[in-house]
Every structure is written in structure tokens, then in C-alpha cells.
Chain A
């Protein structure tokens, strides 16, 4: 009989013994159960790269780099944020979602890089493997801070992964030196840790060198041209030019993997992501399931024609099929006209007539094609709206022009510029130019060569000529034109500012 009473009391202890109250994650990862294997580290660095592909960030390459310049303007019924950005309505910029998303995603990518930098060295991986992962994380952190500083100037600095509520706010960098010191040091570590290995979707040593060259040139020319904030930097203009020159030279000559593509159209061939020009491409593929994994960038540049497949004429007499587009980025007529009529970058890379499947002319500009459009983003194997068209983040020709601009009118510099001009079917650049005239000539070459590749705004900013060049920006102060304001939400919600 007594045993039954005890049985009753047993219920009691069942409760006590099994109480723990700690939740264990089930079916998801956290820092507690991650960074254990090499596969984990690989997945972690891929997550950092993946942040670049979200359409909030990847489309902003053009919304920031090309739209607010003399290259393109948006179609009428694009959203208000797009219009405001194009029209330099600077009073609205703090609440502009395109700018806010660009800002946010730079930090998302930085946080993912920081997670790698903080956790991977702690684990015991093979040294070579670890160097590669950590080196790439340094590259990505530098890449994203460079995006931020070019767009906004001073920004909050997060050097550690954000894992708790009180880590969510960070103070602004004290000055540009603080940010650039971090960027340069990250690039240097990346160069040290990485080897040369061209691979779609991942950065290598050459990418880090190319980025670093770009960073040095940015500092040098912005400071030389009197861009505020840069004027206060401790780094010296000439030493920055010379560092840019040296670093670019390593990209151009230090290996045999990357080089010029002889044929212009090959540079932009979506089936040649490992072409020799492509130092760092954003990795997207039409087989992806969400936008960002696949790309609709082609739709932004191509005008709407009639919904049917269009065929673009190739110099060799063949045709390349494509879907038509949404007419988002309209080419500015003046920009189109600025090309020499014999410039192949106009005749081959800008389309003014399309054909149908029977190779019959079906639409022309002016006419059913509302603007001549770039064919840098064409995927002949498109699936509906899905394409593999990719933003060109770091290109060999870009670095060649960086070298030329940094070095000034040396014969080596002339050689690089002239190679690019000759490839486009143009004559050599006028020889014997002064250093200033030469740099302006290189800037013009960059405008034509790197059009629609997300570079133009930053070039204009470091030359401090946005207000003179972009009619929508005329009348603005230099600072308004050279730096976007921090997002209002950041100002409201970051107590450390």
C-alpha cells in the first residue's frame, strides 16, 4: 500500500528532474554550433559574398554609380526614390530607400565578413585553407567599407561581429584616415594571405591588389582635387598616386592569369565569366531561385520593345538573342553622342537596331527602340526574366586606366591607354600631354570604357566635378554632390552617433 503513495510522489520528482529550461537550437545554425568544419568556414565566407548579390545591393551598383551621372536617366514611371536620386533632390536623400538599402547591405556584408574574421582563426583549420578564407574576408570587408566611404564619407565602423543588442550601435569614424587605414590594412592582409586563383564568385590576391590600387587612386585624386574630408587626410597626394601606380602595376604585370581581352564583345560575353579581364565579377546565375541568385540586370538596361525575343547583330554577321527589357535606364543622348562615331564601344556595344528570328530588322532607334542601349548585359540563354548577367566589379582595363592616371603621362601609361583606344578602333591618344591634361584624358577614356559599370559617379566625385558635369546636380554645394547623407534611420536609431 505504501508503494502507491510513493508512486504518487514520483510524479513530483518527474517534474523536478527534467527541468532545464535552456533552449537548444533545433534545425538552425548559430555561432554555438557553427564554424566547426572546413565546410562551415566555406559556407561562412560564401554567406559574406552572397550579401553582395541581394538586389537591394547589386542593383544599387547602377543606381548609385551610373544613374545620378551624365550617362543615363530613369523612365518616367520609376519610383520616387529613383527619380529623386537622378534629380539630385538631396533633401530627400536621408529617406531614400535605395541609398538606405545600399548602406544597410554594405554593413550586412561587413558583419558576415567580421563573423568569419572572428571565428575562423579560432578554429583549427589547415593553415593554407584558413589563410584563404580569412584573406577573402579581409578583402570583402575592405570592399564594402570602400563602397560606404565613397558614397557617404564618414560612417560608423564595426570591426567585430554584431551578436548582442549593445553591439548594434557604433560611433562614426573620426575622419577618413580611420576608415582608409582600415581598408588599406585589410587589403594588405588580404594580399598577404591570398594566392592567385581566378574563380567565379570568389576574390583572389589580384582582386585585393586591384581594389587597393583603386583605393589609393581615390585618396590621391580626391585630395588633389580639393574634395572636403579628403583634404583633411594625413596621407599625401603624391605618395598615394605612387602607391596606386605600384599596386596597379602588380595587377597588370605580376602574373599571367589576367590580361586584356582583345575582342570587346568577349569581355561582356556572359558565357565567359573567366575571361582574362574579369578580376572580380558578381556571381549570379540564371539557374538561381530568387532574384539576386539570378540576375535581371539586363531588364534594367534593355528598353521595352514588344515583349518578343530580340536579336542583336554581331560584327561577324551572327545574331545574339535576348529578352527585351523594362526601359529603366535610358541612355542620355548627349552621352551617346560623346562617343566617336568610329568607336567600337559605340558601334558594337551600343545597340540601335534589333532583328527578329528571321534576321529581319524589327526595330530601330530612333523609332520603336526608345533609346540606344548598352549590350554589356545580355544573356542569350535567358530563362524568362532570369539571366546570368553580372556586374563587373573589378576589370583589368579599369586597373590599366588606374595605373595610367596614377603614373601620369609616362610611356607605359600611354601604352595602356592606347591599347584600350586601339581595341575600340580609335587612334592613339595625343602625345605630350601635361599631367593634368593626361589625367583628364584618362577620365574621358574611363567614361567611355567603363560606362554602365557603376564607376562614373565615383570618378566625377574624386575629380570634384559632379556639379559641373551632371546638369541635375548643378547649383548644389560640392559637399552635397560628393557625399550622400547618412540615412535618417541611422541618425534616429544609432545612439553612438
Chain B
């Protein structure tokens, strides 16, 4: 998949190294350099051998060079092509064609504080060139990485405008810390991957994913979750280009919204449910307890009832249209190149007035101050605006009108907080973000083999969130007679790094060394103003001082962390066959306890290029056969700051008739108990607290065959994470409940396979495909002691576990558990065996009372003790996929290009919380006339247990993306390149899952919501 590559950056770099100006030539030569197909190649270095006299070809592949001697040999070289050396012919005109080099092998891979050629890579690093995905509009690059890289799992449960993605490399290895990879942009570590909205995806040239410990250990205490390195575009030398990329997208649901379309059926179902539950039916043509009139079934049937509202038509847009425009300008001269791009991006939500927009620019300037001294500067500005209006009640009862007879909103009773129009028109929830990223780098070539780089990076991020909840229509507003707030948040991220790269060959020995250190400082501040109880609400939150002063709420927060690191890497190659890499990073973090401030993360890798061995060297079909082996240790410092310090609590005490502040040992860290009324006490420091440690080994094989027509990468890995950051329980007489400690272990292991096949590669016709397959198997090995971790014991198997995630209200139970010996977040609940058909069957099953009646769930007596109780719960599902598979095809025929991309995830279980509350499933209920085994009877007030009845297979295959493009045949030189295309994203999903879409969060819980959006994009890409 990384075939059609031009290595612009590296070309420029090397050109600059090689070329310098000698102006004393007497003889001119000229010519054109083309590729095998006769297409001109720009940027080819043309050098008079044994001198430093040379030039590069222009965009038409042409060059002119004054040579010192006509006897000289002229060397033509360009990355991606095999070099050629030619004598100067008499006419001084050289028209030559260069052969394609083995592209993938010479591709440059960014590995953190340096680059290596792919053929010399010892670790496990995957690279994606963004030209593969640039036809898909995106707010941040992460969503578009789904399925593109083996071992990189991306899920996008949220469809909100501007929403990010959940990103995992080789599974999650932390329980309480972050599981997101570190994202690094042009050397600047920015934090957790997930929503890199600051960087316009169109500005990104390539994405490198560091997966094994050999690759990620250079990022030390932040490397355990893997690292995603983003490299942005740098201008190439040549004339000034203007590029316009325009994308207009239209979205629509990929299936019908599941709503009641027949009010009679709605009323019948509801009445039946309430009667079965022993309640007064609602639809009887009378007022209910709160004074709301519900029509009788007859009134609905006969048409006497005048109202039927299709709330989805009111709440949703028909086809929201979004826009993504990027205009970029780039130019390069011998000494200076710059790249300026501006972007305007909108993402219109499917809810009306639920919008996101972003505007930003990106400036990059590279300048050679001296021959051996380069300055690189970049500045990115990104301003976003999220006008949120999501979560509106499209599921509202259709028998109620939008407005009453007076034209006011029709409210159902006094506590109606779900009127979508009222909320849309009166609620305020707007967030404005500003991000600035600035980087200044100095690169000094002290001598040919040694380069010194020094960089200052600074990132500023802020948001301001304005909210207002009116006193009617919203719950928060009703409780407080109007609720307004302004929330401010800002962060400063400052990183300096200085490192040296040394590359030299001594005979059969090749040495590459990197060493240096970095300093990072992160400062985050926030404040929040809240006011309530307004006399007049027209100003919303504009005058926060206008609220009732006694109810004002203010708060602020502050986080500062520091990280000081030393880094080194040593690459050693012998005979270009045996490669070894040693990497290490020393991290000192302010977040760690004072007894564990410093950590060392070493790794090592060996690689053997079998294809360079004599016995394979002459085998024509094998271009590459390389074995890799690596082992190393990386960390995860995903604890919040100040966890290792003693922290006192503050409360109020009523002393002598007034409230006074009370302060002392013991800090409220949370609440427990029914209704969350019991305080949990923490604040006791753990000076030994440290990072989580992940050791990982990786065995890999890289293979390329048939002149790289077929290439394959295979990896097997096993990660073992120890010292998990967790809270342990303290003895009650200590007067504390919890303390943060390091305990617990998790493993992740899996296979990854990527295959690229260039089946046909002709000038007018090419066809290639990519297959990516990967697995990850996760197991919790240890959760600490039963008593100190407060673990529960499964009475039937002795399995130790604790609940994780969120309690599901409809079951009043936590469906997910962390269990020793099981993958994270497995489902724990009852088993069922269909539906009870006779009372005797229910009693025989061990049930009694309401639960034993015909039409109820037939729970299974797992421990065969004759009764159904909590002891009958067992593991009933696993939300982790068995494997992920994606398949892409690219086809080019003359000016047409076509690509299609399938992405699938297999074997994961999903809890369908909506399996028995939707218009599409409720009518299939059990009744005396329909004694089905598939659905229970309707019964309001049923205490439903969480059982396997709610668990479905979430496997799916998605036609994720399809592009059809046409490159316009412009021959004149004004328009350099023009392409139009149509792109479809999320076109169709094959799945047995009964809900809208099985792609859910890592806890496997499907919450319902609305259908997935299909997106059609019309694109235009013009370069002048």
C-alpha cells in the first residue's frame, strides 16, 4: 500500500547536502530526466562526479549544469530511483530515464529523534502515506486510520460533529491510566491520540506507528501504549504551487430511525405492558397522575385524536452538508522553502443546529542560514467552534403535538425536560477552542556524519464553554430557576529537545547513533463560573453576575507537570546483513513518587537480512527476506499529578452558629454506597508510586517478492504490563479508604499481517490490493490481593473479579468485570434458556413469584442449587474482537482511479440494551397467542436481570470507503494537476447485530441512539 511514494522531504534534504554553488564552470550541459514510462522526474540530483558541482531537475525533469570538464562523469540520483552515472556526450545533451528503485525498502521511516530506511528497520513500525485517505474529509486524522494499519484499532462510537476516536495499539494494557497511544507531530509529543484536531489532515504527509518496544522505548514512560508519529508536508524545491482541495459532503442515515409510526400499536403495547405489570393502563382517555391526558386506543384508532408528530423530522436534518476546504501555497528555492495552508472545515450534525466548524492555518518555513545550518519554523493556528444541540428527544411520544393551542410548547406534565424544540431554542451550549502550535528547530551539520538538532516546541490550547439552561424545559434550569455557566480551560505545553545524530560507515560496519535529552513542562489551568436563579433570562449567561449571589459557584484548578529525559539509540550494521539496535530513555517525571522519580526504559532489537546472504542474494524473486526480533521495556505514566502528595480535605463546620472552614488530614476522593452518599477518604501519599511497566517482545518477518509486486509483513508480539496503577483499600482504622499503588498485571498478545500486492503496474492500468489482519488477546493476570483490592469471588469457579465501567440502570447492575484469567471488560450475568411457557416450567427452573410466570425470561440455574440468585451469574460475553480484517483495492485506468476499502471486526460481543424497548422489537413480545421463545411478555416494572439474552454477536464488515476519481487531462502549464472525485464513507455494513450499528466503545455496550451516518463527498483537487 505504500507504493506510490515520492519522498519529497528526504530528497530536499539530500539535495541540500550535496549541492552547493560553484560558479566557475565553463561548459554547459542540459537534458531531461524521466522515469521508465517517460514521465519527467523533478528533483533529481545531477552531480559532476568527484566535485560538489551539481543541480536538480525542475518540474519538467529538465536541468542545466555548467561542468568543469567534459570528461567528467555525471551522476543522476533521486530517492526512489536507482542512480545512474553517464559520460557527457558531445552535444552536451543528456536525456536519460531512471529505473524505479525498490521503493518500499528505501522508504524513510520516522522512528523518533531520527529516521531510518525501511530496509534497515529492526523494530515494528508501520507507515501510512496519507494520499490513501486524503479523499475522506476529517476533522482529525485518527478516524481515517481505521483499518489502515495492522495492530492499530480505531473505533468511532460517537457521531457528534467534530468527535474523535478511540485509538489502541496492540490492545489496552492499563486499567486506570490512559490506553491511548502517544501522538507526536514533527517531533513534538502532544499527548494522547484520539482527536488531533489541531492538525489539518491535508497537511499530513505520513503517519508512522511505533508498535513494539524497540521502537516505542525511545518515548520511555509514555511509550507503553505505542506511539503515532505524524509528519507534515514540507515544500519541495521548485516553482510556487497553489493547491486547492475542496470537499463537500452530504450525510444521511444508513437505515430508518426506529420510531413508532402507528400510534394505535404504541398505545396497545404500552397498555398491555402496564396491565401486565399491575399498573393502571395509560391510554384510556383520561388524565394520568400528573394531569396529562392520554387518549384511549379508540380515540387513536378512529382518528379522533388530532395529533401525530414525527419527531425525527423535527429533530433531525434531512441531509446535513459539510464542507472542507484547504488552500495551500508552497514554494521552494535553493535556500528557503515554505508551505502555507489554510483550512475551513465544517461538520454539520444530524441534529438541527448541532454544528462544528474550524478554521486554521499552517505555516512552515525552512531556511538554510548557512550551508551547514538550517532553521525550520512552523506555526499552526486552529480555532474551533462547537455549537452543541445534540441529544434531542427524537424518541418523544408522537401523540403529543409540538405546540399547544396557544402556540406555546406543548409540555407533558410539569417536569417535561425533553421538548426538543423548546430545548433547541432556549438552551445554550457553545464551546470555542483555540490552539496554537509553534516549533523552531535549528539543525547544524557539524560534519558530514554528525548532525545536531535543537528544537523548541510550544503548544497553547484553550476552550471557553458557555452554557445556559432555562428555568423551564431543562432539569438543571428547573432545579435552580435557570442555570448559567462559563467554563475556561487553558494549557501550555513547552518542550525543548537537543539531540545529535551520527551516521557513518567503516568498511563492513555501519553505525548510527542518536543521543540527547529533552525537557517538557505542562501547565493546565481552569476556572468555572456558575450562577443560578435569574430574574430575567434573556441574557442567558452573558451577565453571570446577575444571578442570585448566594447561589454563585466558582472553582478553579491547576496542574503542572515536568518531564526530563535523556535518550539514546545505537544502530549497528555488519555486512549490511546483521543489524542491531539498542535504545534507551531515562525519564524523570514530577508525577512519580519521590522515591521513584527516575526510570530507565531500555530495548534491543536484532535483524537479519537473509536476502543479502550469499544463498539468497542471487534468487531473483526474493527482494527482501528479513527477520526481526526485539525486546524492551516501556512505561505508562497515566496518573494524574499530585497523587503522590499528602492532600488535606476541606469542609464546612457549623461552629457557634455560623459556617466555618474546616481543614485536616483525609480528602474526599469519591463516594460509594447506595445513592453515592458514603464518602471515600484518600489523600494519603504514596512516595513509591511509579509508572506502569510494559515489557514486550516481538518477532517479525518482512518479505518482498517479484520486484516488490508482493510484499508482506508479519509480527507476533506479547506484551506484559506490570505495576498497574490502581487504588488499594486500606484498613479502616487507618482512617483512609484508598491509596494509589502499583499492583496488577495484564498481558496482550497477538499476530499482525499486512500484505500488499501490486498485481498490475502499467502506465495506463494498475491494480493493487492491501490486506491487513490482526488479532489481540488480552488477559488480566493479577488484580492484587483479594482483601486489599476488595475483589469479589465467583462462588462457582473461585474466579476473582471486580466490577468495571458503568452500572446499567435497566439492570441495576454493572455488566462489565475485570476478572483474573479473563480479558478486560468481559460480561458477567445470568444465562437464559428462552422464555418460560408454563408456570410449572418457571418453578422447575428455580424461579418464583412474578419471575416464574409464563412469558418471563427463563434464567438458568448455573450452580444447580434449585434457586436463581446472584450465585448463578457467570461470564456471558467478551467485548474484545477476536480479529480485525481489512481489505483494500486500488485500480487506475488511464485518467480514472478507483479504490474500495472494506473493514471488519470479528468475534466481539455487544450488549444490546435496546433489544426489548424499540418499536421494531416490542410487537414480537410473548403473548398467550404468540408463545414465542424469542421475546418475553410485556411487563412494566419488571426487574430484569442482566443476562445473555441481551448479548449479541457484534461482528461486522463495513464497506468503509469507496472512491472514484478522474484526473482531468490539462496539458497547458497553468493547471498542473486537476482531479475530481466522489467518495463514499461508511456505505454499507454487513452484520447480524439487531441494533443500528455494532461499533461501540471498549465496554461493548450499545446504547441505541440514532443510525450510523453515511457520507458522500464530492471532491476537487486542483494544483496551479
A positions within 8 Å CB-CB of B: 1, 4-5, 7-9, 11-12, 14-16, 18-23, 25-32, 34, 40, 42-44, 46-50, 53-56, 79, 97, 100-101, 103-104, 107-108, 110-112, 115-116, 155-156, 158, 161-165, 167-170, 199-202, 283-285, 287-289, 291, 293, 487, 489-490, 492-494
Contacts and interface: CB of A to CB of B under 8 A. Distances in A.
B735 A162 contact: yes
Interface of B: 369-370, 373, 442, 444, 452, 454-456, 496-498, 517-519, 521, 556-560, 562, 564, 588-591, 594, 597, 641-642, 644-657, 659-667, 673-674, 677-679, 681, 684-688, 729-737, 739, 787-788
A8 B661 contact: no
A107 B734 CA distance: 7
Contacts of B591: 23
30 contacts: A12-B454, A12-B498, A15-B564, A16-B519, A23-B590, A23-B641, A25-B647, A26-B559, A26-B642, A30-B645, A31-B648, A34-B663, A46-B653, A47-B651, A47-B653, A47-B663, A50-B652, A55-B677, A100-B732, A104-B732, A110-B735, A112-B664, A115-B665, A162-B735, A163-B646, A168-B730, A169-B733, A199-B656, A284-B654, A293-B654
Contact of B558 (A26, A50, A110, A293): A26
Query: Among B556, B664, B666, B684, which residue has the most Cβ atoms of chain A within 10 A?
Result: B664
Q: Does more than half of chain B's interface fall in helix, strand or loop, or is it mixed?
A: strand
Given A155-B733, A493-B729, A11 B455 contact: yes
Contacts, number: 230
Contacts of A15: 496-498, 517-519, 564
A29 B663 contact: yes
A485 B470 CA distance: 53
A494 B736 CA distance: 12
Contact of B684 (A20, A28, A156, A163): A163
Nearest to B589: A21
Given A12-B454, A169-B731, A283 B558 contact: no
Contacts of A169: 731, 733-734
Nearest to B591: A23
Contact of B653 (A12, A50, A168): A50
Contacts of A490: 731-733
B821 to A, nearest CB: 22
Nearest to A53: B653
A32 B734 CA distance: 20
Nearest to A157: B733
A56 B663 contact: no
A48 B558 contact: no
Contacts of A44: 662-664
Given A32-B646, A285-B659, 17 more contacts: A5-B444, A15-B518, A18-B562, A20-B562, A21-B564, A21-B589, A23-B641, A28-B667, A29-B663, A30-B645, A55-B677, A103-B733, A158-B733, A167-B734, A284-B654, A492-B787, A493-B787
A27 B642 CA distance: 11
Contacts of B642: 23, 25-26, 28
A21 B588 contact: yes
Contact of A285 (B589, B654, B673): B654
B590 A21 contact: yes
Contact of A115 (B559, B564, B664, B730): B664
B444 A8 contact: yes
B659 A50 contact: no
Contacts of B564: 15, 19, 21
Nearest to B687: A164
A287 B659 contact: yes
Nearest to A388: B654
Contact of A26 (B521, B560, B659, B737): B560
A34 B644 CA distance: 18
A111 to B, nearest CB: 4
Query: Among B562, B646, B673, which residue has the most Cβ atoms of chain A within 10 A?
Result: B646
Nearest to A104: B732
Contacts of A56: 678-679
Contacts of A289: 652
B666 A108 contact: yes
B456 A11 contact: yes
B451 to A, nearest CB: 11
Nearest to B644: A23
A245 to B, nearest CB: 32
Closest A-B pairs by Cβ, 9 of them: A15-B519, A47-B664, A168-B734, A492-B787, A46-B662, A111-B735, A47-B662, A493-B731, A29-B648
Contacts of B590: 20-23
A54 B671 CA distance: 13
Contacts of A155: 733
B648 A40 contact: no
Nearest to A202: B655
Nearest to B686: A165
B732 A107 contact: yes
B731 A494 contact: yes
Nearest to A7: B442
Given A15-B517, A23-B590, A494 B664 contact: no
Contact of A97 (B557, B661, B673, B737): B673
A283 B655 contact: yes
A44 B729 CA distance: 25
A293 B651 CA distance: 9
A192 to B, nearest CB: 23
Contacts of B730: 168, 493
Contacts of B589: 21
B370 A1 contact: yes
B373 A4 contact: yes
B645 A162 contact: no
A18 B729 contact: no
B116 to A, nearest CB: 24
Given A19-B519, A30-B647, A168 B736 contact: yes
Contacts of B686: 165
Contacts of B370: 1
Contact of B788 (A19, A158, A293, A493): A493
B519 A18 contact: yes
A87 B597 CA distance: 53
Contacts of A1: 370, 373
A9 B498 CA distance: 8
Contacts of B456: 11, 14
Contacts of B455: 11
Contacts of B650: 28-29
Given A8-B444, A104-B732, A494-B733, A50 B498 contact: no
Contacts of B559: 26
A14 B663 contact: no
B802 to A, nearest CB: 15
A201 B656 contact: yes
Contacts of A156: 733
Query: Among B521, B641, B645, B732, which residue has the most Cβ atoms of chain A within 10 A?
Result: B732
B733 A200 contact: no
Nearest to A102: B732
A8 B641 contact: no
Contacts of B673: 97
Nearest to A110: B735
Contacts of A42: 660
Nearest to A52: B653
Given A46-B655, A103-B733, A283-B654, A19 B369 contact: no
A54 B677 CA distance: 10
A98 to B, nearest CB: 11
A200 B657 contact: yes
B735 A50 contact: no
Query: Among A31, A104, A158, A293, which residue has the most Cβ atoms of chain B within 10 A?
Result: A104
A5 B498 CA distance: 12
A107 B375 CA distance: 63
Contacts of B597: 21
Contacts of A9: 454, 498
Contacts of A4: 369, 373, 442
A284 B645 CA distance: 32
A179 B684 CA distance: 26
